[in-house]
């Protein structure tokens, strides 16, 4: 993609760097900071006809701008761990819930899947199917049930069955729809009231194709509900998902997982070094 002939011209080179960062969905603010850093580099370096040299500089700048990776996926086997999955419509929350259950089952942690998305047609059935694929238990709920009540039942069931992990799938909601955000806040209050000793992780799922809107989503969810970590989904297409770097930088929200396909095994832990390396390829 770059530009051995462009390196001899600093202005053209900076344009190419800007293009690379924008196409990677890094975001305008982070892009501007990186370009400013490159502006300060001595001009003679731009006569070095080796892009790998500048790629390493770019990787170094990103690592300096982005907070160090934080592991938010640890399970405490001595208590109930609850993962509350949040996000806007169509980000792949239900699929992620099944993948997460499968991931932790492979690590020796059995979970209970809770369908708090009770109004979307087929949502309960989809999660039930995924629970079978993952080999974990599923809390049955009637369509149209009050989501907070379903979560309450899930907590009681998890305690009775001595589950270590409770995974709650919630309905998609636009971060600008305040009534829907209040409904999610009610679910969180039910968890805090009825499982005050549990380890709660509020995971925000962001679609890699969302681009810059992902930053607005993360900002609004953080302000309204609090966000423990981010999961990036749908990274199997042309989307780069670089917006998660800006989310980490501007909001200090760590990234935990990446989902990239349809199969229940198509998910991995987020590795910041590998992510940046892939982003710049």
Q: What value does the mean pLDDT of the chain take?
A: 89
pLDDT at 140 (0 to 100): 94
CA angle 102, 106, 111 (to 5 degrees): 55
Print burial letters for 222-242: b (CB count within 10 Å at least 16), e (below 16).
Answer: beebebbbbbbbbbeeebbbb
> What are the tens digits of pLDDT across the range 127-142?
999 999 999 999 999 9
CB atoms within 10 A of CB 157: 16
Q: Are 225 and 188 in contact (CB under 8 A)?
A: yes
Contact 216, 175 (CB under 8 A): yes
User: Strand (E) positions, 92-195?
Assistant: 111-116, 137-138, 165-170
The residue that leads in pLDDT, 179 or 133, is: 133
Choose among 276, 263, 272, 275: nearest CA to 103: 263
Separation between Cα atoms, residue 96 and residue 259, nearest integer Å: 7
Distance of CA 22 to the CA centre of its chain: 20
pTM of the model: 0.91
pLDDT at 190: 98
Q: Cα separation of 227 and 204, whole Å?
A: 6
> Tell me, what DSSP letter sits at residue 75?
-
What are the pLDDT digits (tens) for 233-280?
999 878 889 999 999 999 999 999 999 999 999 999 999 999 998 888
CA distances from 281 to 27, 36, 59, 141, 273 (A): 18, 22, 11, 45, 13
| Average confidence (pLDDT) over 4-12 | 60
**Contact yes or no for 236/92 (Cβ under 8 A):** no
Candidates 186, 184, 190; CA nearest to 205 is 184
Distance CA 121, CA 115 (A): 12
Give the distance, in angstroms, between the CA of residue 223 and the centroid of all CA atoms in the same chain.
17
pLDDT at residue number 269: 96
Coil, strand or helix: which one is 217?
Answer: helix
Structure letter (DSSP) for residue 44: G
Angle at 165 between CA 160 and CA 167, to 5 degrees: 105
pLDDT at 8: 56
Whole-number Å distance between alpha carbons of 73 and 255: 10
Residue partners of 250: CB distance under 8 A and separation at least 6: 29, 215, 219
CA 244 to chain CA centroid, Å, is 8
**How far apart are the C-alpha atoms of 188 and 16, rounded to whole Å?**
45
What are the φ and ψ backbone dihedral angles of 229, each rounded to 5 degrees?
A: -160, 175
């Amino acid at each position: 993609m770059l530009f051995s002939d462009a390196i001899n011209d600093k202005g053209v080179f900076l344009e190419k760097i800007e293009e690379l960062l924008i196409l990677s969905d890094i975001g305008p603010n982070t892009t501007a900071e990186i370009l400013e850093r490159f502006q300060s580099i001595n001009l003679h370096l731009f006569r070095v006809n080796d892009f790998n040299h500048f790629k390493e500089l770019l990787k170094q700048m990103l690592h300096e701008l982005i907070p160090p990776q934080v592991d938010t996926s640890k399970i405490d086997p001595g208590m109930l761990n609850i993962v509350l999955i949040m996000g806007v419509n169509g980000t792949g929350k239900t699929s992620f819930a099944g993948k997460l259950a499968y991931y932790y089952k492979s690590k020796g942690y059995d979970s209970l899947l809770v369908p708090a998305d009770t109004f979307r047609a087929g949502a309960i059935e989809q999660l039930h199917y995924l629970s079978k694929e993952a080999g974990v238990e599923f809390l049955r709920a009637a369509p149209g049930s009050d989501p907070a009540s379903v979560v309450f039942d899930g907590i009681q069931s998890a305690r009775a069955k001595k589950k270590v992990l409770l995974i709650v799938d919630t309905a998609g909601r636009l971060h600008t729809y305040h009534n829907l955000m209040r409904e999610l806040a009610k679910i969180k209050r039910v968890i805090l009231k009825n499982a005050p000793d549990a380890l709660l992780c509020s995971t925000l799922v962001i679609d890699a194709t969302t681009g810059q809107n992902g930053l607005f989503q993360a900002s609004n969810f953080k302000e309204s509900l609090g966000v423990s970590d981010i999961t990036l989904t749908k990274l199997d297409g042309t989307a780069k998902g670089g917006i998660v770097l800006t989310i980490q930088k501007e909001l200090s929200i760590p990234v935990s997982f990446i989902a990239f396909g349809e199969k229940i095994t198509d998910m991995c832990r987020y590795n910041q070094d590998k992510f940046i390396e892939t982003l710049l390829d």
